[in-house]
Amino acid sequence: MAIRFNLGKSKFVNLTVKDHVIRYAELKNGHETAVQTWGERFLPAGLIHDGVIQDVETFSMIMEECIQEWKIAKKQVRFLVPDSSVVIRKIAIPEDVTPDEIKGYLYMELGTSIHLPFENPVFDYHLLKEKDKNKKQIILFAAPENNIADLAEILDEVKLKPAVADISALALYRYYHHTNKTPENDGVMIIEVDLKTVNVSIFEDHHPLFMRHLNIEADNEKWVQASNDPGLVYTGDNMDVWNGLDEIYKELEKVMSFYRYTLNKGDKQVKKMVITGDHPWLSGIIDQLKERFDNAEQMKGFGPSLNDEPIPTSIHVNIGLGLKEV
């Protein structure tokens, strides 16, 4: 499926590849950012598992079909690193490490004072203004190099031009900040509820301090695309999914408590919980979260639209990707 708005040309395609779907959006950036085109293609169950492509040949064939349908051949691509492999961590480094030396220091400390749950990482960092006990504070972003390189190689082989890798938490915060005239800057929890997973991140002063990737415990093989429905329907017992989501809500409470008491010793708490995602039952999930948490709200919508039909929440992260250099 593809929706096209005739607003001119776009240099970048903003691509998301998840276990169950491929989506793209192109933006027209000017005085007012607008969605130019967007589309999605649901994937066979098991083709991608935890962000790892299991059958490269089949995935490449599907990508080629999408490229032809969406008319995006030879375009530059911004894409996401799989959430399940991303580490975001606030760490302290010696005060005498200069900005030019930080990257070298991080390479030297990997595996000794800095431990990651994978080998051969690629990473970036952001130097914070604050200090703690005469040490500099940075936010470290890391992911396995293979996960990024493998997807970039496939995109290159199917005649796209991979240019920028990004993290969904950063893309969604970018979207949140763009669509709010007076955004909250501290204690913002971004929750992305997708078909099988929930990604949770907390931001302070526009920087992510924490991210957690949660799996919804349900028989996800029973999500199927109905012949008379453009989306997905669940063919099992709906209570299995709701029970899995109830466990997610309990984890969110733990995350909020960790942020308040472990990271901030009771001095700060989550001020706003902002929810988006592509889950077919997202509206019901948001209602449940609002009942549990006084500070829960849905991510604001995005315009323009075609025939007054709003851009779906599933495209929010793609739009956030497109806002990276606006």
Question: What kind of fold does domain 87-144 have according to CATH?
Answer: Dna Ligase; domain 1 (3.30.1490)
Phi and psi for 5 in degrees, rounded to 5? -110, 125
Answer whether residue 128 shows pLDDT above 60: yes
Tell me the C-alpha distance between 155 and 141, whole Å: 23
Tell me the C-alpha distance between 209 and 213, whole Å: 14
Q: In the structure encoding, which two tokens stand for residue 279, read together?
A: 């889950």
* For range 47-58, the mean pLDDT: 94
CA atoms within 13 A on the CB side of 30: 8
pLDDT at 263: 86
Q: Establish whether the linkage from the previous residue to 304 is cis, with ω within 30° of 0.
A: yes
Tell me the C-alpha distance between 185 and 74, whole Å: 38
Question: What kind of fold does domain 12-85+145-323 have according to CATH?
Answer: Nucleotidyltransferase; domain 5 (3.30.420)
Tell me the C-alpha distance between 155 and 53, whole Å: 13
Higher pLDDT, 325 or 232: 232
Please write the tens of the pLDDT for every residue from 158-174: 999 999 999 999 999 99
What is the SS3 assignment for 271-319?
CEEEEEECCCCHHHHHHHHHHHCCCEEECCCCCCCECCECCCHHHHHHH
Least confident of 6-15, 81-90, 206-215: 6-15
Higher pLDDT, 146 or 132: 146
Domain boundaries, the chain: 12-85+145-323, 87-144
**Residue that the structure tokens 């995350």 belong to:** 255
pTM, two decimals, is 0.91
- pLDDT, the chain, mean: 90
